[in-house]
Amino acid sequence: MKKILITIFSLSVLASCSSDLLDVNPEAQKVSSQFYTNSSEIEQGIVSVYGALQYTGQYQLGMPALGELPSDNTYDEVPANDAFTYGELDFFTIQPNNSLIASTWKDNYIGIQQANIILARIGNIPDMTDALKNTRIGEMRFLRAMMYFNLVRVYGDVPLVLKETTNVNEYFGQPRTPLAEVYAAIETDLKAAIGLLPNTITQKGRVTKGAALGILGKVLLTQKKYTESLTYLNLVEPLGYQLLTDVNKIFDVTNKNNAEIIFDVQFASGLNGNSEGSTAFQMFSPSGSVSGAKGHNLPTKEVYNLYSTGDTRRSAYIGLTPNGIPFSKKLVKTSNTIADGGSNFVVLRLADVFLMMAECFTEQNDFVNANLYLNKIKTRAGIPTVNLSSKESFLNEIDRERRLELVGEGHRWFDLLRTGKAISVMTAHFSNNQGYSTAQIKQHHLLMPVPQGQINTDPAVKQNPGY
């Protein structure tokens, strides 16, 4: 772990921000011990934490791929591209030296360390009001919690570091922190953030109270704490979020940060030497459809055909090439520089919150409210509502609606893990689809391998079983 820690715990990537958009273009690298002495420097450091969300291993490629490709929602059209990096996720031949697995670990810890630096220094900044400090502390605690949530869902136990690290040897030789302890820290951060964050913001891309409430609800749902999850999820909609009546508008790049979006990672094309965009559009487009398209993480025909007649989401969320290959319309071409995509990546929106609420109500046998929130999604999609009265039928219908509503948004694999369906669903998927005769999911695949580089540099960091 030592080699990665040097990267994580020594660098502070700093960025400027414009007045209305979180601009995360790195402009300099400075030694943190000689920086963060005033509000301007602190603000630059804060923006660099947001900037880490744009890294390959976070929401540029890592979380969209890891949240979908191992599932029945997407597949890798050309597994040999990029040295089988994405194909391994599709066929469950994942190796500990997979570069995306390594980037996800590293890039999340870079963001965590930067958040720890800000949290350690901000209290001593003389030219910031206490109110602003509290807001920024809330942002940093939210982002740190979200990154740890992603790490534990991918790897299981991970090293828990909650303070600025100035000596990498302090953590060398220590084992991974048990999952329950990491989850406890995530919950503590998010509950603190809820009390510090504002209801609304003027600067696009920053965290609000609604984001902290919604992500905490998801964290608690993941741990099957249904009553507590509902306590927080119930508070999201009253903050002013709304389902858009037209599903075509949700991911329209001319309608970013709309009333349905609770938190998203900002990308913009054509800015700062084409450095503010995402490569996801190029990487996740069918081969030959655009310049340099790699064919990774494409919607399956199975999920495309799952939409019923009249469901407005199919044409809004998934398109077909002239050859009949499905592609995501949640990522769009925004400039002639294909690798500089301008689609934001949506981390949380109100439709997700409503479906989580329906699931929590179902688990509590409150079918009246479960029908209410499930039908909000169906009504908006233009399909018939339901009146279900059994837990099994409800959970199956919620599972279906989450697939159709959230396809491509990095949720399906984590949904299968949370509901305990990953092995059965993927075994059936492989049996029912040509090309997967060699694919097999086993129990150890429910966690990704710890990057081999971490284990090579620190033997105390043990590999997950099966790898």
Q: Which domain holds residue 355?
A: 208-410
| Whether residue 137 is found in the same domain as residue 242 | no
| Whether residue 50 is found in the same domain as residue 192 | yes
pLDDT of residue 31: 52
pLDDT, tens digit (0-9, with 9 covering 90-100), for 350-409: 999 999 999 999 999 999 999 999 999 999 999 999 999 999 999 999 999 999 999 999
| Whether residue 240 is found in the same domain as residue 374 | yes
Domain limit, last residue, from 373, 394, 410 = 410
| Whether residue 142 is found in the same domain as residue 269 | no
pLDDT of residue 272: 75
Q: Is residue 170 part of a domain?
A: yes
Candidates 113, 119, 97; CA nearest to 42 is 119
| Whether residue 327 is found in the same domain as residue 364 | yes
pTM of the model: 0.93
Long-range contacts of 32-40 (CB under 8 A, 24+ apart): 32/117, 32/164, 33/166, 36/117, 36/118, 36/121, 36/122, 36/125, 37/125, 38/125, 38/126, 38/127, 39/125, 39/127, 39/128, 39/132
Angle, helices 99-121 vs 130-155, to 10°: value is 160
Q: Is residue 445 part of a domain?
A: no
Question: Does the pLDDT of residue 20 top 50, yes or no?
Answer: no
pLDDT, tens digit (0-9, with 9 covering 90-100), for 34-69: 689 999 999 999 999 999 999 999 999 999 999 999
pLDDT, tens digit (0-9, with 9 covering 90-100), for 300-340: 999 999 999 999 999 999 999 999 999 999 999 888 888 88
For residues 171 and 155, give the distance between their C-alpha atoms in angstroms, rounded to a whole number: 18
Question: Does the pLDDT of residue 17 top 70, yes or no?
Answer: no
| Whether residue 172 is found in the same domain as residue 138 | yes
Domain count, the chain: 2
H or E stretch covering 326: strand 326-328
Average pLDDT value for the chain: 92
| Whether residue 149 is found in the same domain as residue 237 | no
Q: Is residue 120 part of a domain?
A: yes
> How many Cα atoms sit within 13 Å of 182 on the Cβ side?
23
| Whether residue 176 is found in the same domain as residue 316 | no
pLDDT level of residue 280 (50, 70, 90 thresholds) = very high
H or E stretch covering 15: strand 12-15
Q: Is residue 435 part of a domain?
A: no
pLDDT, tens digit (0-9, with 9 covering 90-100), for 139-188: 999 999 999 999 999 999 999 999 988 877 777 888 999 999 999 999 99
pLDDT of residue 13: 35
Q: Is residue 110 part of a domain?
A: yes
| Whether residue 166 is found in the same domain as residue 313 | no
> Domain containing 316 — which CATH number?
1.25.40.390
Q: How many beta carbons lie within 10 A of that of residue 310, not counting itself?
A: 10
For residues 331 and 264, give the distance between their C-alpha atoms in angstroms, rounded to a whole number: 13
Transcribe 416-437 into DSSP letters. Answer: HHHHT-HHHHHHHHHHHSTT-T
Distances (CA, A) of 135 to 14, 73, 199, 446: 19, 37, 11, 36
pLDDT level of residue 415 (50, 70, 90 thresholds) = very high
Question: Does the pLDDT of residue 215 top 50, yes or no?
Answer: yes
Three-state SS at 274: coil
> Domain containing 111 — which CATH number?
1.25.40.890
**Contact of 307 with 404, CB cutoff 8 Å:** yes
For residues 43 and 37, give the distance between their C-alpha atoms in angstroms, rounded to a whole number: 11
**Contact of 52 with 82, CB cutoff 8 Å:** no
Q: Is residue 3 part of a domain?
A: yes
| Whether residue 140 is found in the same domain as residue 216 | no
Domain limit, last residue, from 378, 395, 410 = 410
Q: Is residue 434 part of a domain?
A: no
| Whether residue 290 is found in the same domain as residue 195 | no
62, two tokens: 């890592």
Q: How many beta carbons lie within 10 A of that of residue 458, not counting itself?
A: 20
Beta-carbon contacts of residue 267 (< 8 Å; ≥ 6 apart):
54, 60, 276, 277, 278, 341, 342, 343, 344, 345
| Whether residue 193 is found in the same domain as residue 316 | no
Q: Is residue 89 part of a domain?
A: no
